[in-house]
Amino acid sequence: MADGVSRLFDEYAVAWRRGERPDARAYMERAGSGRAELAELIDAFLSRALVPAPDEETVALVEAWAAGEPPLLALRVRRGLRREAVVEALLAALGLASGKRAKVARYYHELESGLLDPAGVSRSVFEALGETLRARAADLQSWRPRPPEAVAAAFLRAAEPAAAKPAAPAPAQPKEEWDEIDELFRGARPA
């Protein structure tokens, strides 16, 4: 076993035993060519490690998720924060102009409500949210809201014959210029 892999594994195991939730992916990135070896060590360790009892907040967030409530929303409510306060914190932490408030608010609402795929959201957004909500950025990034039952039911009804009268098209929305807010919340500019 390479010395670097051994050191990284020890660091990971110590953090786990302290009750932290170390990000195995981050450790494997640091391992470089020893990535596969470190992954095997971490996998073997976790298969035998005792899982710590969840804290009260984790239980509440999982219960919210199971009930169909988006975890990010549940966390913000548990912290007693208004959405506007989170938006202001994002503007400040990300160094964005106050003129971008409405666009940031719209994207944050979509993210918090489960309407925006977290995979496209920048790590810096999750780090800012982690600071604001006193949570780990990696946890926030990994949470996915459950699809509401109404959405599943709508897809079932879509298989039924269409109504005689077609729905009117939605009014066209003015095109916004792609900017740094889009990149933070949606990733790279679409081709």
pLDDT in tens, 70-95: 888 989 999 999 999 999 999 999 99
Give me the number of domains the chain comprises: 2
Q: Are residues 79 and 115 in the same domain?
A: yes
Question: Which tens digits make up the pLDDT trace of 99-148?
Answer: 999 999 999 999 998 888 888 899 999 999 999 998 888 778 877 766 65
Q: CB–CB of 85/115 below 8 Å? A: no
| Residue 164 in domain | no
* Cα angle for residues 125, 43, 60 (degrees, 5° grid): 50
Q: Are residues 71 and 140 in the same domain?
A: yes
Q: Which amino acid is at 3?
A: D
Q: How confident is the model at residue 171 (pLDDT cuts 50, 70, 90)?
A: low
| Residue 162 in domain | no
Q: CB–CB of 132/90 below 8 Å? A: yes
Task: Write down which residue in 48, 67, 84 finishes a domain.
Answer: 48
Residue closest to 96 by CA, chosen among 15, 184, 31, 186: 184
The Cα diameter of the chain in Å comes to 71
Q: Are residues 65 and 140 in the same domain?
A: yes
Query: Which residues form the domain of 38?
Result: 3-48
Q: Are residues 65 and 40 in the same domain?
A: no
Q: Are residues 36 and 60 in the same domain?
A: no
